[in-house]
């Protein structure tokens, strides 16, 4: 269906990652009115997975799950006039577009399919498994204007799945920066699916988030929007859930994209009604002159073993096994030990009396991390600390990936819209661009007057959400009242963050202040090593880094507690 003149464009999202809820596509189509249904299947790790698929089968490289989902509800989308826009094409958007056509022919459904290409820069990065520029939404817009019912893309920005349909419907030009920035913000809220409707939400207690519905945005011609969900679906949409998602995997006040740079410090959120949050006031700027490029390479091979240490003398047991393994690890490029003190004194179960000693090894040679680690660890079974056992024997070693963020001039990429009739239409790069400069820290509110304080977890007054961008992590922290904001912005400085998160002490940490959201956003460089695929730390995507921060104790004013 298409909205009547003057009505908003209703854009839903039914996938936040490759592996999201399978039934969501059909659920979102049947749950209520909709004009466009999007699906986000790509992440940095996904591109590496699809690249390995393509090595085995050159015709692969796209999210096959999408095809199976579409088989169940393509007819329903056609009957309801809902257009589908997805980046499930991954490394092979043309291949997925052809597969959708074959599926439609087999089902007897007259569907016009188009796709977007030009993001693949694999040939310009020797040795890379995948290299892709993050394209904007105007290729998608060209496909929709040509009458496409299904548009398949490769690596576009997550928000482009929304800016494209909005630009096509409202006739926006590349210079409509404010309107495009509003759609960028709406797209960023939608992109992770149920994270905007109560999933992974810091204040989940008291809400029914067992099965959150998927979000949708009612986008208006001026770029403003209302974030909501279909009636009767689970979860919730409030200012907090939308704030959390706005902070996810962003950093400063300027949120750059290939269509426009959105000024996150201008976003205004208000609760319009139950499960309805209005997003307005977004100012936009010309996009930066360069596109981000994600490069995935094979880093080598890794293996691991977890030794279980039970009862007394935990640290002495750990020292013994490390000394015994030292000879076997001498020729391996990297070995890292981590002792997690999950044990407790006088425990009433064996599991809670045990600590975990984790050894991770990496080397360019698979045999080195396989044979060397397996043999040395297994041979200790009867010759090491009392109570020796491991969670599982080491395997042969598995490949790990390395993610690098590069850039390329906007005009160096052959952005193409391949229309339903097969026409190949070039998409011009933006004529207006602006370098991405940092925004100075805004004036801060007056701090709270002195008063009694209590030592308590930060999470009693603040929410947080964290995530990864390559080897960096961000942690967004927000509060729900002006009083709490006056305390948080003065208390949670960069120095305080480093104290609370010790592994950040020797890393570059930048704080960004967003008063409209009552939020501070910390960017921590290098904490994730070479990205999620390298499995650098216990939580390789920093998904729970914000929850760890919320669990740390500070002196909090009694008035806030």
Per-residue pLDDT reduced to its tens digit, 278-325: 999 999 999 999 999 999 999 999 999 999 999 999 999 999 999 999
Task: Establish how many alpha carbons lie within 13 A of residue 103's alpha carbon, considering only the half-sphere containing its beta carbon.
Answer: 20
Q: Which two tokens stand for residue 343?
A: 């044990």
Confidence of residue 374 (pLDDT cuts 50, 70, 90): confident
Structure tokens given for 435:
């370098």
Cβ atoms within 10 Å, residue 343 = 18
CA distances from 337 to 245, 361, 378 (A): 34, 9, 17
pLDDT tens-place string over residues 133-143:
999 999 999 99
Q: pLDDT tens across 69-93, in order? A: 999 999 999 999 999 999 999 999 9
Give the pLDDT band of residue 533 (cuts 50, 70, 90).
confident
If one compares 336 and 2, the residue with the highest pLDDT of the two is: 336
User: Is the pLDDT at 477 greater than 80, yes or no?
Assistant: yes
Predicted pLDDT at 539: 86
What does the pLDDT look like over 393-429, one tens digit per residue? 888 888 888 899 999 999 999 999 999 999 999 999 9
Angle, in degrees to the nearest 10, between helices 160-170 and 138-145 = 40
Judge whether 230 and 218 are in contact, CB under 8 Å: no
What does the H/E/C string look like for 381-408? Answer: CCCCCCCCEECCCCCCCEEEEEEEEEEE
Question: What pTM was estimated for this model as a whole?
Answer: 0.94
pLDDT at 529: 86
**Predicted confidence band of residue 45 (pLDDT cuts 50, 70, 90):** confident
pLDDT of the residue at 394: 85
Residue 1: pLDDT above 70?
no
Residue in 315, 301, 300, 303 with CA at minimum distance from that of residue 392: 303
Length of the chain: 561
Structure tokens at 432: 């207006």
CA distance 458 to 503: 18
- At 54, is the secondary structure helix, strand, or coil? helix
Asked whether 227 and 146 are in contact (CB, 8 A), the reply is no
pLDDT in tens, 214-236: 999 999 999 999 999 999 999 99
Nearest-angstrom CA–CA distance, 519 and 251: 11
Return d(Cα 351, Cα 429) in angstroms, integer.
Answer: 58
Q: How confident is the model at residue 473 (pLDDT cuts 50, 70, 90)?
A: very high
Strand 254-255 versus strand 215-219 pairing type? unpaired
CATH 3.30.70 spans which residues of the chain?
A: 298-396
In DSSP terms, which residues pair with 405 in a beta bridge? Answer: 294
The DSSP call for residue 385 is: S
Q: pLDDT tens digit string along 494-514?
A: 999 999 999 999 999 999 999
The fold of the 298-396 domain, in CATH, is Alpha-Beta Plaits (3.30.70)
For the record, the structure tokens of 111 come out as 């569907």
Question: pLDDT tens for residues 199-213?
Answer: 999 999 989 999 999
pLDDT score for 260: 98
Point out which residues pair with 404 in neighbouring strands: 295
């Amino acid at each position: 269906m298409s909205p009547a003149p003057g009505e908003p464009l209703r854009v839903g999202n039914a996938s936040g990652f490759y592996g999201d809820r399978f039934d969501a596509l059909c659920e979102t189509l049947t749950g209520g009115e909709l004009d466009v249904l999007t699906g986000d299947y790509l992440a940095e790790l996904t591109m590496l997975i699809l690249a390995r698929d393509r090595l085995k089968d050159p015709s692969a490289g796209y999210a096959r799950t999408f095809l199976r989902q579409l088989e169940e509800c393509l007819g329903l989308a056609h009957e309801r006039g809902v257009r589908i826009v997805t980046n499930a094409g991954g490394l092979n958007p043309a291949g997925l577009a052809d597969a959708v056509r074959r599926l439609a022919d087999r089902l007897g459904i007259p569907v016009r399919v188009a796709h977007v290409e030009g993001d693949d820069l694999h040939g310009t990065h020797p040795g890379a498994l995948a290299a892709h520029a993050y394209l904007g939404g105007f290729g998608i817009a060209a496909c929709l204007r040509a009458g496409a019912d299904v548009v398949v893309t490769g690596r576009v920005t997550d928000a482009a799945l929304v800016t494209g349909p909005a630009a096509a419907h409202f006739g926006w030009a590349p210079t409509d920066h404010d309107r495009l920035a509003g759609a960028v913000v709406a797209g960023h809220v939608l992109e992770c699916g149920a994270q905007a409707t109560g999933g992974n939400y810091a204040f989940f207690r008291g809400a029914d988030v067992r099965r959150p519905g998927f979000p949708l945005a009612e986008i208006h011609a001026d770029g403003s929007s209302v974030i909501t969900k279909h009636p009767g679906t689970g979860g919730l949409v409030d200012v907090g859930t939308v704030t959390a998602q706005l902070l996810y995997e962003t950093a400063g006040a300027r949120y750059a994209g290939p269509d426009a740079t959105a000024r996150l410090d201008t976003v205004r959120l208000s609760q319009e009604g139950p499960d309805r949050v209005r997003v307005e006031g977004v100012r936009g700027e010309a996009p930066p002159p360069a596109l981000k490029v994600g490069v995935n390479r094979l880093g080598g091979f890794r293996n691991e073993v977890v030794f279980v240490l039970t009862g007394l003398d935990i640290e002495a047991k750990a020292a013994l096994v490390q000394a015994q393994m030292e000879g076997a690890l001498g020729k391996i490029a990297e070995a890292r030990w981590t002792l997690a003190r999950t044990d407790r004194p006088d425990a009433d179960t064996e599991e809670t009396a045990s600590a975990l000693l984790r050894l991770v090894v990496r080397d360019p040679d698979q045999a080195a991390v396989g044979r060397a680690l397996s043999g040395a660890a297994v041979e200790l079974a009867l010759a090491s600390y009392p109570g020796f056992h491991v969670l599982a024997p080491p395997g042969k070693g598995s490949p790990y990936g390395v993610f690098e963020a590069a850039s390329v001039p906007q005009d160096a990429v052959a952005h193409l819209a391949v229309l339903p009739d097969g026409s190949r239409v070039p998409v011009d790069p933006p004529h207006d661009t602006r370098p991405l400069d940092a925004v100075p820290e805004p004036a801060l509110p007056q701090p709270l007057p002195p008063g009694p304080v209590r030592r308590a977890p930060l999470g009693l007054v603040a929410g947080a959400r964290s995530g990864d961008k390559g080897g960096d992590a961000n942690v967004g922290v927000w509060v729900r009242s002006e009083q709490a904001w006056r305390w948080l912005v003065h208390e949670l400085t960069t120095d305080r963050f480093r104290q609370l998160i010790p592994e950040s002490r020797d890393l570059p940490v930048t704080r960004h202040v967003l008063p409209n959201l009552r939020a501070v956003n910390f960017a921590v460089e290098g904490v994730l090593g070479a990205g999620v695929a390298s499995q650098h730390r216990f939580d390789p995507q920093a998904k729970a880094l914000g929850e760890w921060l919320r669990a740390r104790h500070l002196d909090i004013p009694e008035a806030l507690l």
